Amino acid sequence: MVLTPPSALVELRNLTFGYGDRVILDDISLSVPRGKVTALMGASGGGKTTILRLIGGQNRAQSGQLLFDGGDVTVMGQTELYAARRRMGMLFQFGALFADLSVFENVAFPLREHTDLPDALIRDIVLMKLNAVGLRGARDLMPSEVSGGMARRIALARAIALDPELVMYDEPFSGLDPISLGTAARLIRELNDAMGLTSIFVSHELEQTFSIADHVIILANGKIAAQGTPEEVRTSTDPLVYQYVHALSDGPVRFHYPGPTVQEDFSMGLQSNHKSSGVAQ
């Protein structure tokens, strides 16, 4: 009997996570379709990066399940968790390259750490991965000698060095110029399709995200505010989603921090001035 793998590579089922009394994710359920590019979006502090950390097992949920290819990460022991992590690649927000290693050795690091491959084969794999991100010619440079956009691409080459099934990206577009941003977006899409990956990335960049994602999930207030294709999310009538997608300064997320009204503040100021000057009320 041949078992068919689940259509979702990653699933969150009624998952709750928080820090102390502060709930970040409140009984949420979502799926990351196998072979697709999924974007996690929403206001800062909404739990997007937290989901990546939960998938990798750096954090454990207080309740619910987090399934990676059918296995529940929340109950995995160390050996099982490390085996699952070897099937994942991670691109950190600012690359997180090892400053004292060359570009070549940064990409070679996971191969040396997790395999017994001979040096000649490691060299071929590293050059192949660097070529995929357009930086084979930069292999002898140090991280201090490359631009921010190049560092992000080198980190991507390192993330795919072990041919993972899942690649996670934490804000891959942050701080990039328009050329580097477009290059990063194209690489996420092309590598996902060419290598048969499943990709999940955190982003605030609407245009590029909607151009490459198959599935978009918007988080808000510990819940899922919307999910679907980019077009479905773009045309959502939910007030919070509409505000986010159209970059409106005011809406359910208020422009002004909660406090007294302008009239109340000025009234209190006038009363204070009268009292300090000895004027009778």
Q: How far apart are CA 199 and CA 109, in angstroms?
A: 22
Q: In this predicted structure, what is the pLDDT of residue 34? A: 92
pLDDT at 12 > cutoff 60: yes
Which tens digits make up the pLDDT trace of 27-47? 999 999 999 999 999 877 778
Tokens of 50: 């937290």
Mean pLDDT of 104-122: 91
What percent of the chain lies above the pLDDT cut of 70? 89
Q: In this predicted structure, what is the pLDDT of residue 258? A: 66
Q: In this predicted structure, what is the pLDDT of residue 278? A: 57
What band does 2 get if pLDDT is binned at 50, 70 and 90? Answer: very low
pLDDT at 230 > cutoff 70: yes
Q: How far apart are CA 78 and CA 84, in angstroms?
A: 10
| Distances in whole angstroms, Cα of residue 124 to Cα of each of 108, 120, 143 | 10, 6, 21
Domain 8-237 sits in CATH at 3.40.50.300
Q: Which helix (H) or strand (E) holds 39?
A: strand 37-42
Q: Residues 6 or more apart from 268 whose CB is under 8 A from it?
A: 260
Mean pLDDT of 206-228: 89
What band does 225 get if pLDDT is binned at 50, 70 and 90? Answer: confident
Whether this prediction's pTM lies above 0.85 is answered by: no
- The beta strands (E) that lie in 116-185 are given as 166-170
